Amino acid sequence: MRILVVGDGKVGHTLAEQLIREEHDVIIIDNNDAVLQRCEDALDVLCIHGNGANARTLMDAGVDKADILVAATASDEINMLCCLIAKRLGAQYTIARIRDPEYNESLALLQHETGIDMAVNPERATALEISRLLRFPFANNIEYFARGQVEMVEFRAQEKDVVVGCPLRKLNTRLPEIPKVLYAAVEREGRVMIPNGDFIILPGDRVHVAGEMMTVTNYFRFLGKHSLRIKNVMLLGGGRISYYLAKVIVPMGIRVAMIEINPAKAASLSEALPHVNVIQGDGTDQELLEQEGLQQMDAFVAMCDRDEENLMTGLFAVKQGVPKVIVKNNRVGYADIISGMGLDSIVSPKASTCTAILRYVRARVNGEGTKVERLYRLMNGKAEALEFIAREEDPYIGIALKDLQVRPGTLIAVIVRQGKVIVPFGGDHIEAGDRVVIIACETVINDLNEVIHR
């Protein structure tokens, strides 16, 4: 596909890297010569200097032949204008990053009037992700599939966990009362594995389990990990993520303290969020954190602009005994280092944005195939979870899974049929209309027919 990316910032550059890896024809537009030079040196793309909201610049980039245009500049208004002009000039689909809370309530109207096919709000998506982690504090990461019927939860195995040290095939014999979930993927010392029946979970493993929501909930109750409830949260940084997060979790009955260093922003937040205790001060000051009751908090969320400050304050919160610590980190290279330090819950607005856009792009590749309905990156991008809807004409329909060939490095994790969640075994089969969730390690999959063969 021919894809134009307007804005070579963190999101634009990361997105272009992945699109090139998936063999798309990518063109980047930016008005900063130094940024474009760096991009030309690092990526195999055509770079065009200019304003992405200028019709002549878009025409020079071949917008009339573009399958998708992605507007990811720092300005919401430029992104919307860029999409409007691109659609009028012939671009088939347009995607805009729109971040300002003022546009959130009228987003549907804005999309309709400007011809935007997909709007991405990284900060709001990140806030919703954090809110799920606060609702289920035992988890490092939570994803939902099949319209919320299937839950995939990541947790770090501890020596006391009853599932540690026993081959998976023997768990139900040894522990007949344990709820049956699928052990979808395990990361050990940076290596991702899809476990079979002989696999043994060890302390320190990052384990992904999947299943119907209530079954997964009961599974963690059985492990004794569902006892902590979040009642008091401290947020470091008064940016857009903190604003959206406070709006979501305050109605849940969670008491929120927010620390913001900028006096004017702190005053504005205090007015906009009357039920939040907004504190004006330097949140990286350990003495201030202690004075404001860090040790009494159930959760601490670090969302400063600088990843390094989030890392250091997050580690301090862990040292102070805060049960749940979440840090924002946009540098992919830091993820494994941060996890190795004991900070397992990491959120990245950049990664969330790129994943959402890639899901949209993949859904429009191979228009005749069984397309990706939903895509999530797992374990810092080392694995993917993908959701498809099986079609009546697909060749594997009605055939037992044991009689089919499954692509190496992939796992058929869950089948959802007429609202019923099935953790599949060899005797199960796929029917037309089923929602099928698969796990894949370090591979690009656009079509379910690439995974399952007769």
Domains of the chain (ranges; CATH) run: 2-120 (3.40.50.720), 232-322 (3.40.50.720), 357-453 (3.30.70.1450)
CA pair distance 340, 323, nearest whole angstrom: 17
pLDDT digits (tens, 9 = 90+) for 228-269: 789 999 999 999 999 999 999 999 899 999 999 999 999 999
Whats the size of the chain, residue-wise?
Answer: 454
Q: Is the pLDDT of residue 366 over 60?
A: no
pLDDT interval class at 117 (50, 70, 90): very high
Residues 69, 83: contact at Cβ < 8 Å?
A: yes
Residues 60, 34: contact at Cβ < 8 Å?
A: no
Distance separating the N- and C-terminal Cα atoms of the chain? 29
Structure tokens at 60: 């020079």
pLDDT interval class at 382 (50, 70, 90): confident
pLDDT interval class at 324 (50, 70, 90): very high
Phi–psi pair at 205, nearest 5 degrees? -65, 145
- pTM of the entire structure? 0.78
Q: Is the pLDDT of residue 314 over 60?
A: yes
Contacts of residue 236, defined as CB under 8 A and 6 or more positions apart, other chains included, come to: 259, 283, 284, 300, 301, 302, 303, 304, 310, 313
Residue listed under structure tokens 């999947």: 210
pLDDT interval class at 369 (50, 70, 90): low
**Cα of 36 vs its chain's centroid, Å:** 27
pLDDT interval class at 334 (50, 70, 90): low
Residue listed under structure tokens 């228009």: 367
